[in-house]
Amino acid sequence: MKTNSHIKSFVKRSGRITNIQKYFLNNREANNSFYTPRSLIDISKLFNNDNPCILDVGFGDGKLLINIAKKYPEFNFIGLEVYDSGIGNILKQISNNEIENIKILKIDAIVFLEKFIRNSSLYGISLFFPDPWPKKKHYKRRLINENFLNLISDKVQKGGFVKIATDWPSYNESIVELFERNKRFHKTSDIVIYNERILTKFEKRGILLGHKIFDLTFKVN
């Protein structure tokens, strides 16, 4: 799969940004939690420790990622987001809570994984409520597909995990089928750090709409 040819799973939009989000966004270069990769990342040097690293793809408003990182300082977290409001918001939260085990990047997940992450260097990957692209004609835009699974199976170490949550039945069915076909993963019980996790904004919205929440966890064989 070529980096410049994949169908993006997101559409760039200019959403509303608060003044405080804008402040942290505009000053992100001075914030050592914001990182722009130039070459393959040495995670132990990036965090100055040898703790296991978890990649969170599309952290939204960042509240769940902040909560998990605060509870589990023995893990490192890399958060990816493409929307400025979310980046500004999480940089504010990192600053307010003096969190040192998160690095934030503004980058497409496929590009990041292909160009900047070494094989077997991640302990896990989390994807909470990725865009479901609910219309059938848009299914091809869903991030989680066969190519994505082949890519992450190289990047996550043996025994590591992939954690996914969605409230769309068709996406859940597709994800389960994809992982069942891919012999490099097996379904497992939830990872301890996500037990009693807080609800995300999208999760709360789905629950209010009466949607069932599908929590999926897979490990690399």
Give the residue numbers marked as catalytic. 131
Beta strands in the chain (DSSP E): 53-57, 76-81, 102-106, 122-128, 156-166, 185-187, 214-220
Q: Which of 131, 69, 147, 78 is nearest to 106 (CA)?
A: 78
Q: Are the beta carbons of 129 and 197 closer than 8 angstroms? A: no
Q: Are the beta carbons of 168 and 134 closer than 8 angstroms? A: yes
Separation between Cα atoms, residue 92 and residue 21, nearest integer Å: 7
Separation between Cα atoms, residue 178 and residue 75, nearest integer Å: 28
Max distance between CA atoms of the chain, in angstroms, equals 48
Separation between Cα atoms, residue 110 and residue 8, nearest integer Å: 9
